[in-house]
Chains A and B, each alone.
Chain A
Amino acid sequence: MIITELEAKAADIRRQVLETALKAGKGHVPPAFSWVELGVALYYGNILRYKPSNPQWKERDRFLLSKGHACLTLYVILADLGFFPTSELDNFAGDGSLLAGHPDINIPGVDVVSGSLGHGLGIGAGLAMGARLSGENWLVFVLLGDGECDEGSTWEAAMFASHHKLINLVAIVDRNRLSATNFTEETLKLEPLAQRWQSFGWEATTVDGHNFKQILEILSTVQQRKSELPLVVIANTTKGKGVSFMENSPLWHHRLPKGEEVPLAFQELRSSDKNSIS
């Protein structure tokens, strides 16, 4: 896809995320919105190798959504690609639904149970190590939240991955500068975040997490990277991106728009997309 198509897809994904959450009456929409461009780049920008008709394809790249609460974006993408029927979105977080509030491995296209923060990077490191030991060349991408970098287990994994030169592991941090109740820098300062990763033996690159050109420029190099250091992409993003009153606010973590906020939200999502496909 070319960039304008990716941007249209991103707008489409945001609309579907919001529709799904409103129908269910629950869901972490702003955290889902902040990584939409990252998700679209990975799945539609020729980065991840996968087969919707064969979710267990042995040579697939693994994508681990370590910030599992932001799963609405993943669910909408997987449904759109045909991993499972779109009708499943209608039952998101419903009784006995396939799609719970955090992802699990019953869902075609999901490789790991996530939602308890701080696990994904370690599991990803294990996958990457396993791939290398078996001589397989698939990659492992782990998307973390920045608040998730509070968890000590994230840094245990970072040390391990660097020590063992797991360059088939790529970490992406959705740096929206917010966690559930407050700005990250008010709670536990993460800055200077890039230097922290570097001091743990990683190569750290910073991108605008809503700019496809920048995202793809870095992600398209990962297959051919010649380095001894694993790569972390720190993506500067906006929580709630796409709906102005949700953006960058501690109030908006799992709050849903209501009343007049709903049509306003959809209006903004429609008007932000000049190249809508739908």
Chain B
Amino acid sequence: MPLDFRDAAFNGVYEIIAQDKDAMLLYNDMGAIGLDRIRADYPKQVINMGIAEQNMMSVASGLALAGKIVFTYGIIPHVTGRCYEQIKLDICSMNLPVINLGIGSGLSYGVDGPTHHAIQDLAIMRALPGMTIYNPADAVTASACIRMAYQSRTPAYLRMDKDQHQAIYSPEHNFNNGISTLLPGNRITLIATGIMTHQALAAAKELVKDGIMVKVVDLFRIKPVNRDGLVQIIEDSEIIVTIEEHIFYGGIGSLISELAEESGSKTIIKYLCLGEGTYLGSTSRKWAHERYGLSTSAICQTIIETCKERV
């Protein structure tokens, strides 16, 4: 299993396209090694749609209406915000089997400036009825999500990080629940998503030295959310810190606050995220994490201070 999310995802798409002649892959002139392999071996099932994302989604809809199962691929802002009406109407309102693979979650393309940042997409994609959203923390999860999305035959969106990360899960893991508790802990919980799960694990490891045992939860299926599982986690926690490379609105911080409100719990919740700006200039990941409280040390600091608040 490769460590690269995109490679793992395209390996999964390759297997599907190889055994299902009705599976297709559309892309907006955005390259990928795994995609090249599929195009070379199954050219009739792959179409370069050109730099025309609205048409890509409308055509995906038409193909699905004609009986195909369609994967679409491109950089996240281009395949979400840019063609949102088409996703909403042409795909979601007709509940079609179109699986949207977006590369570059969060600040994967941070140095390329705001046109390539994917820090609002969860907000808009969560608003779509019938849309399943996966945000894997490792390539193993990405691969599993491809299979789950294909099997469900309903609209789906898979966010892929561009950087490589260590595997957290084994390929045999059951990903049906949408969340995983990676580390047990005593009533202090970090809920993270995507690559920030690695940051949460690193912070948890540091905090052990201070005698603080934090639970780490990986929230990799953002919609439909595992409501019961998360409400249980909220009720079992005195303190929760959510961590995401996304703005607050509509991300997992929003989601947890919605669930906490519903459950009426008194849990103290802190939200670590990317504020609400447009980040001009070269917004590299490491620089942004330090600036916006998402670095390992900042996460630890947040937990320590919140523990004092609780006392």
Contacts and interface: CB of A to CB of B under 8 A. Distances in A.
B59 A123 contact: yes
Nearest to A133: B44
Given A160-B50, A160-B52, A130 B63 contact: yes
The binding surface of chain B is classed by DSSP as helix
A153 B58 contact: yes
Interface string B78-95: 000000011001100110
A227 to B, nearest CB: 21
Nearest to B70: A126
A231 interface: no
Interface string A96-140: 000000001100000111001011011111111111011010000
Contacts of A105: 94
B184 to A, nearest CB: 47
A122 B86 contact: yes
A124 B58 CA distance: 8
A266 to B, nearest CB: 36
A156 B55 contact: yes
Interface string B9-20: 000000000000
B251 to A, nearest CB: 27
A122 B94 contact: no
Contact of B55 (A116, A127, A134, A160): A160
B62 to A, nearest CB: 2
A133 B55 contact: no
B61 interface: yes
B60 A119 contact: no
A124 B55 CA distance: 11
A159 interface: yes
A130 B66 contact: yes
Contacts of A127: 62-63, 65-66
A221 B16 CA distance: 39
Contacts of B64: 126
Interface string A148-184: 0000110011011000000000000000000000000
A133 B24 CA distance: 11
A123 B68 contact: no
A127 to B, nearest CB: 4
B183 interface: no
B54 interface: yes
Given A122-B54, A123-B90, A159-B50, A131 B66 contact: yes
Residue from B22, B55, B60, B66 having most chain A Cβ neighbours under 10 A: B55
Interface in B11-61: 22, 44, 47, 49-50, 52, 54-55, 57-61
A113 B85 CA distance: 12
B67 interface: yes
A159 B29 CA distance: 15
Contacts of A111: 65
Given A153-B54, A160-B52, A126 B89 contact: no
A143 B38 CA distance: 35
A130 B65 contact: yes
A110 to B, nearest CB: 11
Contacts of B85: 116, 119
A126 B67 CA distance: 11
B62 A130 contact: yes
Contacts of A152: 54
A126 B65 contact: yes
Contact of A119 (B44, B66, B89): B89
Contacts of A131: 66
Given A104-B93, A113-B89, A113-B93, A126 B52 contact: no
Contacts of B61: 112, 122-123, 126
A183 to B, nearest CB: 26
A123 B65 contact: yes
B90 A119 contact: yes
A134 to B, nearest CB: 7
Shortest beta-carbon contacts, A-B, top 6: A126-B62, A130-B66, A122-B58, A156-B55, A126-B59, A156-B52
7 contacts: A113-B93, A122-B62, A123-B62, A125-B58, A126-B59, A126-B60, A133-B68
Interface of A: 104-105, 111-113, 116, 118-119, 121-131, 133-134, 136, 152-153, 156-157, 159-160
Interface of B: 22, 44, 47, 49-50, 52, 54-55, 57-68, 85-86, 89-90, 93-94
